[in-house]
Every structure is written in C-alpha cells, then in structure tokens.
Amino acid sequence: MSNGQDERLVRQLWDSECGPEEIAGLLKLGVGELRRVVGVINQLGKETIHAEPDAAFSYWFSGYFDADGCFKFEKWNHSVSVQRDCRADDAAVPLEIFKRLGGHFYWKPQGKTNCFSNVTWRMRRPLELLTVLVPLFDRCPLRTKKRLEYHEWRYLLEHKILCRTKAARETFRADFLERSQRVHRLREPWHWSPSS
C-alpha cells in the first residue's frame, strides 16, 4: 500500500464513522503499513482542535472508562496518565475517543505475527489531562471504587503542574510515592470470608 493509499484510508476513518469493514481493512495491513497509518492518525489528532465533548458522550465515556479504564502512576518519572485498552476488532471505540478528546492512539502487536491484538487510547500530557479529562470527570463522576483512584490521581496531576522549585519537586516525589501506594492498596482484591 502506498503512502497516498494510507492517507486516503486514514482520511476515510477520520472523516466518517469507523465500522467493521474499515477495521477489518486495517487488520489486513502489514506491521510497517499499520505503523504509518497510526502515525498519520496521531498527526491528525495533533492538528485537530478538540471541542468540549457533549453531555451524551461525556456520560458514555465516564461509564466506559469506569468499567475498564486505567489511571496510571508512573514511578520512574513521577507522572500520571490515563489509558483504555480493547481488542483490535473494537478499534472504532478508542479511535472515536481519540477523535473527540485527543491523546494518543496505539496498536499493540500480538507476538511476532502481523496480526494486532490490542488497541490503546492514552492521554499523558499534564495540561491536556487537566483541561480535558478533569472537567469531564467532574461533570460526569465515576461510580465504582475507581472514583477513589481519581481523587488521588487528580491531586498528583495538579501538584505536578505546580512544582517549579527543587524543594517543591522533592516534596512532590515523596507525596507521589505515598499516594501511588495508597492507590495500589485500593486495587487489591477484596476477599469475602464467612465468619465462623
């Protein structure tokens, strides 16, 4: 497939609803071609000004993220991000999220073959998180125990942006470790046992 064909396919995906036929077309591409297509998709996302999502999409996204989204706490660089994975044959969903909210769109290969098993939508830039996702989750709150993770995640995001001095960054690192451990404890499975 040539670069012109790649761009036509991407434009078709970007400008219309992405259906099963378009996803099946993407899954038939080789690894190199698919990387070019995903690169063009991400470039289009950077060039697009994302309007505030409507209420229906916001509530849908909140529920979708609540079910299996992930607040990420990256200890190696003390940053926070969000991500949502799904199977490659459901790629229309993260692509629609990417088109409406921004972030990044990834395909993850399965082993050493050409077929792709996972599609990921991820947002990691602090300013984008603060201006897009925080207002969305404030308007459409999470319902499961993930709401507790959200409060810790939001606190760390806001304080990461405010850290300008060396002393503030050191305090933030210690706070980050404590709060990320608290979230880790929240994620531990709860086991019920009958009382004797």
pLDDT digits (tens, 9 = 90+) for 81-125: 999 988 877 878 888 888 888 888 887 766 655 455 688 889 988
Please, which residues bridge with residue 85 across strands?
A: 120
pTM score of the predicted model: 0.72
Residue 130 has pLDDT above 60, yes or no: yes
Say which residue, 117 or 58, is predicted with more confidence: 58
Identify each DSSP E strand in 110-187 by its residue range.
116-123
Question: How far is Cα 12 from Cα 18, in angstroms, rounded to an integer?
Answer: 8
Q: Average pLDDT, whole number, for the chain?
A: 76
Q: Could you tell me the pLDDT band of residue 196, with boundaries at 50, 70 and 90?
A: very low
Residue 153 has pLDDT above 80, yes or no: yes
Averaged pLDDT, 48-55: 72
